[in-house]
Structure 1
Amino acid sequence: MTETAVPTVAGIGSVPNGTHSVPERDLALRVVREALEDASLDLSAIDGVYMPSPRPWTPQGFFSTYLLRLLGLNVDRALEISTGGSSGANAFHSAVSDIRNGTVEAALVLAVERNSIVDTTGPYFDYILKSFDSEFESPIGMTVPAAYAQSMQRYMYEYDIERADLADIVVKNRKNGVANPDGLFDEGLSRDDVLDARLIADPIRLFDCPAPCDGAAAILLTADAVTNSDSPPIAVQGTGYYHTASHFLMSRDSSITELPAVRHAVNTATERAGLVLPDIDVFEPYAPFPHIEAIVLEELGVAKRGDGVAACLDARTPSEGPFSISPSGGCLGRGHPPMVTPLLNYVEVVKQLRGTASTQVRDAKSALTTAEHGHLNGVTATVFGTGV
């Protein structure tokens, strides 16, 4: 089928990351209302609803069906998608595809998550263990930080990386996150704060880990350039996806210090957008640990192997530089409700392209996001740009 329609962001909505005492239903309805008001559209215009499947501890099952009933919506398409931390991104890409091929004309993409209601030593840990190899890894009590600790150790060893320099990536992201009114934190960090924090899985310490929290976000996509009069139309110009033959640290063809799926997904997205990486003004990656941000830059070709840390910290990455990375604070500086994080990245780049971001990149015209479900190596990439 020929793709003709250009998916355009009509409206966005989000709640501050933190702890919310209301049910997921109320958070979802709030961000849907915000997105509709931002787009100046009626609820009846929506003919597609897309979202990540809520986590197992969410009290309400079949959430999308439940939400449709609450909203009184009849739709041509409704999807709940489960691919770990990339679930929100894959839901978004499904909406983009359906708009391109004419299946729907107005797609609501939303995500909601409350981590404050789960005990990390109970249902959460049981859920996480199932993501590892059930025969060899799960029985030893593997954790997500433990997996990333191994790749961090290997990265530091192979490229002679100073542990203190990785701490500076956390400091940089926390500084941006503190400036973000929707972020989780009110105070910045020093290098010593990061290095002296409680050990989680050597060499990863507390502030190297993304802080789980509650959150919700919604994005309304349309087939036409529907926008507020004061905002330029923001188009989804290119999407890409790639999954390598690996599962956490069980990699077949590459080192655990590499994330080749990032490179492939980004190349596809930028090619479809008719852009090259130097054309990108803002980059909001899904980088849950500091060395991952460095490795991602190496996969993009911004830095050579082993030079990613320097690239994260030099003049190419601050908000005033030509290639700004995580001006919102990202996973480390903003807080991390995993099912919502991909959509929060989309919301942030839309704000950048509208000129309303908390840490605004000057004259931003194009933006790139990535999402990945941990070291599982399945990556989405999305290019946004002003104009249709």
Structure 2
Amino acid sequence: MPEAHVTGIGTLPLGTYDRPERELATEVLREAVADAGATLADVDGLYMPKPRPWTKQKFFSTSLIGYLGLDVAQNSETYTGGTSAGKAFQSAVADVRAGRVETAVVLGVERDSVIETDDYFEYILHIFDREFGAPAGPSVPGVYAQSLQRYCHEYDVSREDVASVVVKNRENGVGNPEGLFDSGTSVEEVLNSGPVADPLTLYECPRPCDGAAALVVTSDPDGPAVAGIGRHHPPSHLTGVRGRSLASLPAVEESAEMGLSDAGASVADVDVFEPYVPFPHVEAMFTEELGLFDRGDGAAACARGETRPDGPVPVSPSGGCLGRGHPPMVTPLLNHIEAVRQIEGTAATQVPDAEVALTTSEHGHVDGTTTTVFREGEA
């Protein structure tokens, strides 16, 4: 079975765009294919997270195939919330490994700037239980606020330590040329930035934005290898895992174990982590699920500097959702691109001697997670 490698990447700076999604998608696809030293005629697989409902163009992948004249053996659009791009990428990897596709493009595009607030809330309500949940008017920050309350209560975690995760990621994101922010912040500014869903504040919530990214996956050994893939979904939907605390993330633990096993590696082999963590306590809980820190110590470890790019456990050197910006259908691919750059030594905030990188994607309240492990390719 051939090993899958990332041989090309394409991105756009996050922000606001007045061009239609197809133009943004075309730009990053062409950039990624050129970066791989390939042509559009070489592409025989196209994999995408299904664009958001407010994207005017439907049947997006087939429209793009026709527009660009691609002749593909496989194409798909996946929609499972925030894991959509992560699962699309893993599908491409599986097809390359199996020999069904030789040159796969994984593409994500999103324009959050085009939807009105009321329409967005109506869309969000549809992800909750229509009979018992949606009528109460829940929100995504509201669900995460509950887990933050439980995390702080269960482990006596200080809000200052949680806010330090935002400070660290904003500092990392300032160095990211594709990110939204040009300045950092402080613990005081984070905690005083205004309430969103008690106790979450504005700066503790990810900034929605427009963006697009693409990766080329082939069996060519010139690029970093996709060494392992894993995924897991526990029996829950947005309101906490049955029999487990809201301060736990079993999907992270299970998917990471699967991905690391597939890679023939352990968490101790990972040099850099680029997880999908839309709220600061989720990053802390993520590190605890992987056994990097004791339960309840993840936020304090960040405050101690242990998860900085120059620390022993570098987490989110790109800035992640909080320090870079967060178009959910694109975020997993941005995490993968950061992993590729770290291994190639070209990241904006480079972790020294990074050879193995672990990324995740998640949806809802981390009810479903994908894990992807990258390592140096063997030319």
TM-score, length of structure 2 as denominator length: 0.98
- Equivalent position SS for 2:229: strand
- Cross-structure match for 1:359: 349
Q: CA-to-partner distance for each residue in 1:290-317, whole Å, 9 max, x for gaps?
A: 0000111110001111111122333431
Query: Which one of 85, 89, 105 corresponds to residue 86 of structure 2?
Result: 89
- Cross-structure match for 1:349: 339
- Cross-structure match for 1:222: 218
- Cross-structure match for 1:176: 172
TM-aligned CA deviation for residue 322 of structure 1 = 3.0
Q: CA-to-partner distance for each residue in 1:234-264, whole Å, 9 max, x for gaps?
A: 0000000111011111431211110011011
Q: How many angstroms apart in 2 are the aligned matches of 1:141 and 1:315?
A: 38
- Cross-structure match for 1:107: 104
- Equivalent position SS for 1:270: helix
- Equivalent position SS for 1:213: coil
Q: How many angstroms apart in 2 are the aligned matches of 1:347 and 1:213?
A: 18
Alignment of 1:121-200 (within 5 A): 121-122=118-119, 124-200=120-196
Q: Contact 1:5/1:224 (CA < 8 Å) preserved in 2?
A: no
TM-aligned CA deviation for residue 120 of structure 1 = 1.9
Q: How many angstroms apart in 1 are the aligned matches of 2:277 and 2:240?
A: 19
Q: Which amino acid aligns with 1:60?
A: Q
- Cross-structure match for 2:40: 43
Are residue 259 (structure 1) and residue 259 (structure 2) matched?
no
Unaligned runs of 5+ in 2: none
TM-aligned CA deviation for residue 161 of structure 1 = 1.0
Q: How many angstroms apart in 2 are the aligned matches of 1:155 and 1:376?
A: 14
Q: Contact 1:234/1:384 (CA < 8 Å) preserved in 2?
A: yes
- Cross-structure match for 2:319: 329
Q: How many angstroms apart in 2 are the aligned matches of 1:362 and 1:251?
A: 37
Query: Which one of 226, 230, 234 corresponds to residue 244 of structure 1?
Result: 234
Q: How many angstroms apart in 1 are the aligned matches of 2:101 and 2:30?
A: 20
Q: How many angstroms apart in 2 are the aligned matches of 1:261 and 1:53?
A: 22
Q: Which amino acid aligns with 2:160?
A: A
TM-aligned CA deviation for residue 321 of structure 1 = 2.3
Q: How many angstroms apart in 2 are the aligned matches of 1:178 and 1:139?
A: 40
- Cross-structure match for 1:76: 73
Q: How many angstroms apart in 2 are the aligned matches of 1:107 and 1:253?
A: 40
- Cross-structure match for 2:12: 15
Q: CA-to-partner distance for each residue in 1:100-147, whole Å, 9 max, x for gaps?
A: 11110110000000000001222x111111111112221011000000
Q: How many angstroms apart in 1 are the aligned matches of 2:4 and 2:339?
A: 15
Q: Which amino acid aligns with 1:270?
A: L
Q: Contact 2:240/2:365 (CA < 8 Å) preserved in 1?
A: no
Are residue 203 (structure 1) and residue 199 (structure 2) matched?
yes
Q: CA-to-partner distance for each residue in 1:189-233, whole Å, 9 max, x for gaps?
A: 1111111112101000100000000000000001222x4xxxxx3
Q: How many angstroms apart in 1 are the aligned matches of 2:376 and 2:10?
A: 19
- Equivalent position SS for 1:121: helix
- Cross-structure match for 2:290: 300
- Equivalent position SS for 2:62: helix
TM-aligned CA deviation for residue 33 of structure 1 = 1.2
TM-aligned CA deviation for residue 376 of structure 1 = 4.8
Q: Which amino acid aligns with 1:145?
A: P
Q: How many angstroms apart in 2 are the aligned matches of 1:23 and 1:142?
A: 31
Q: How many angstroms apart in 2 are the aligned matches of 1:82 and 1:376?
A: 15
- Cross-structure match for 2:52: 55
Are residue 381 (structure 1) and residue 371 (structure 2) matched?
yes
% same residue: 55
Q: How many angstroms apart in 1 are the aligned matches of 2:232 and 2:337?
A: 23
Deviation larger for 233-242 or 302-311: 302-311
TM-score, length of structure 1 as denominator length: 0.96
Q: How many angstroms apart in 1 are the aligned matches of 2:366 and 2:12?
A: 28
Q: How many angstroms apart in 2 are the aligned matches of 1:313 and 1:33?
A: 41
- Equivalent position SS for 2:117: coil
Unaligned runs of 5+ in 1: 228-232
Which stretches of structure 1, 4 residues or more, deviate above 2 A after TM superposition? 311-316
Q: Contact 1:269/1:381 (CA < 8 Å) preserved in 2?
A: yes
Query: Which one of 67, 78, 103 corresponds to residue 64 of structure 2?
Result: 67
Q: How many angstroms apart in 2 are the aligned matches of 1:44 and 1:134?
A: 45
Q: Contact 1:318/1:324 (CA < 8 Å) preserved in 2?
A: yes
Are residue 269 (structure 1) and residue 259 (structure 2) matched?
yes
Q: How many angstroms apart in 1 are the aligned matches of 2:138 and 2:280?
A: 20
Q: Contact 1:166/1:291 (CA < 8 Å) preserved in 2?
A: yes
Q: How many angstroms apart in 2 are the aligned matches of 1:352 and 1:305?
A: 28
Q: Contact 2:162/2:300 (CA < 8 Å) preserved in 1?
A: no
Query: Would you say how many aligned residue pairs link Structure 1 and Structure 2?
Result: 378
Q: Which amino acid aligns with 1:90?
A: K
